[in-house]
Structure 1
């Protein structure tokens, strides 16, 4: 098992962002972390990435507490920019190469071309869709065991989404696990192995995607609508 999360809670003063979440993430699978903005998806991913600590409960990476070991093997793409505004796209690649020992510059250059981005363009001039493509390229250029992409399709037009998803699946390391957080369920329905629905900080439903479809006689999209409508 890659991630074993048990009874995890995260509180900010009186606000509970994540409430008693228990999840298991296995190797080599694609997970959808589903829910509207503010449901707790980002907080949970940041705890797995080691950026914030749970208030209670435990998260283990291959049986060990989240720490230096797990951080070197987890590639996390946040919703906010992780580079300086003065950087060009080329600078972002060099920055990542300096920061992560597993960063592959050759893969980064390939992905930047695949995303139809210009290495000389300044990060601060990019539209939200182009900035999302840059973040995806940088994250996938690491050779990680777990990739966590927080709302990777935000700002990307509907025509380009299928190609972006295809690029994500093709360029994640072999046998790695993918956790994709999104409220755009339609695009994820056809590629996921496992669906996790988060509502107000708790797991509202989770299970194998195909099994959920059969048991509930409903698509993942329709299940999303029934949970959050």
Structure 2
């Protein structure tokens, strides 16, 4: 379980997260939705142990995130892969650090995503780089998979392959996937639970199906209603 208790994170005068408290259950796909600048990426960095709260506490399975890093695979929005590396070189680099690397899964997904081991990062398209980043994150058997804007700037065919990879590889009940995005149309049917974030605060946390039934609206429509004035 992921738990935030009265968490505040500030950059200068800007409160990226403003005293938020919530928990995310294990073994589910969770949407962390909101506009750019809402605090989604900050929340993921805190879960991944790449940043620390100014106030409050973040825990992953009762541990601080730095102690739980081996359970967490994090895919940032930024292009973090070294441009001179091949996909295989990047894979060798990552698997040296994480004992949960699954080589069989890596090779299967490589084929599924239409990638080649000798593809050089600086020679492939943005869509292929996004697929390569996903490949490297998902090839670990991590308990928690954190995805920051996984579809941002990606062409429609690559988006479909990325979504199909998540569906294909998801271990229901065993793995928790958190998808932080403002582009929710293509992932709204994936998520079990939704957390809507606005200006560093939680404005709604609910089961996706309950939102549809009680509000009579899609998640896209619900977000538009909640984010009015943004």
TM-score range, shorter chain: over 0.9
Structure 2, unaligned stretches of length 5 or more? none
1:43 paired residue number: 42
Q: Offset of 1:156 from its aligned partner? A: 2.4
Deviations 1:181-202 (A, max 9, x none): 1111111121111111111111
User: Does 1:84 find its partner at 2:82?
Assistant: yes
Determine the C-alpha separation between the residues in 1 that align with 2:50 and 2:103: 25
Deviations 1:63-82 (A, max 9, x none): 222222x1000111111123
CA contact (8 A) 2:47 2:58 kept: yes
CA contact (8 A) 1:39 1:199 kept: yes
Aligned partner of residue 117 in structure 2, secondary structure: coil
TM-score (norm 1): 0.94
Q: Offset of 1:125 from its aligned partner? A: 2.1
Q: State how 1:21-100 maps to structure 2 within 5 Å.
A: 21-68=20-67, 70-100=68-98
User: Does 1:199 find its partner at 2:205?
Assistant: no
2:168 paired residue number: 170
Determine the C-alpha separation between the residues in 1 that align with 2:157 and 2:110: 18
Determine the C-alpha separation between the residues in 1 that align with 2:151 and 2:206: 23
TM-score (norm 2): 0.93
Considering only aligned residues, what root-mean-square deviation do their CA atoms show, in Å? Answer: 1.4
1:223 paired residue number: 222
Deviations 1:17-36 (A, max 9, x none): 11122121111111011112
CA contact (8 A) 2:128 2:158 kept: no
Deviations 1:137-160 (A, max 9, x none): 000011111111111112322244
CA contact (8 A) 2:113 2:161 kept: no
Structure 1, unaligned stretches of length 5 or more? none
CA contact (8 A) 1:128 1:154 kept: no
- After superposing on structure 2, the runs of 4+ consecutive aligned residues of structure 1 that deviate more than 4 Å are none
